[in-house]
């Protein structure tokens, strides 16, 4: 069964440090300031409210759009 077409069609890259997704033209991660990016990422999750129960549960205190996996490792544990 074919996998559901991800995210790679979207012209984004993921911050290797925090997993934030940024446009390919960006040079600096808006979330953590890192300049280390990877185009090898999978899945997307969006944190609209870092005070939400889910964000707390994931111990994720940043707002934005993130990749679930970057270079083969999960951003959320």
Member of 12, 14, 22, 31 binding Zn ion (CB under 5 A)? 31
Reference 21, options 5, 6, 38, 4; nearest CA is 38
Strand partners, 15: 37
Q: Which is nearer to Zn ion, 2 or 11 (CB)?
A: 11
Q: Which is nearer to Zn ion, 18 or 67 (CB)?
A: 18
Member of 12, 22, 29, 47 binding Zn ion (CB under 5 A)? 29
Are 69 and 42 in contact by the 8 Å Cβ rule? The answer is yes
Are 11 and 19 in contact by the 8 Å Cβ rule? The answer is no
Segment interacting with Zn ion (CB under 5 A) among 5-13, 34-42, 47-55, 65-73: 34-42
* 15 forms part of the interface with Zn ion (CB under 5 A): yes
| Cα–Cα distance for residue pair 49/36, rounded to 1 Å | 25
Query: Can you give the binding site for Zn ion, defined by CB under 5 A?
Result: 15, 17-18, 20, 29, 31-32, 34
């Amino acid at each position: 069964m074919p996998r559901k077409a991800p995210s790679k069609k979207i012209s984004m890259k993921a911050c290797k440090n925090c997993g934030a997704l940024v446009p390919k033209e960006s040079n600096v991660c808006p979330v953590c300031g890192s300049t280390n990016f990877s185009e090898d990422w999978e899945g997307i999750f969006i944190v609209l409210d870092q005070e939400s129960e889910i964000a707390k549960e994931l111990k994720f205190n940043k707002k934005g759009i993130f990749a679930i996996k970057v270079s083969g490792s999960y951003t959320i544990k």
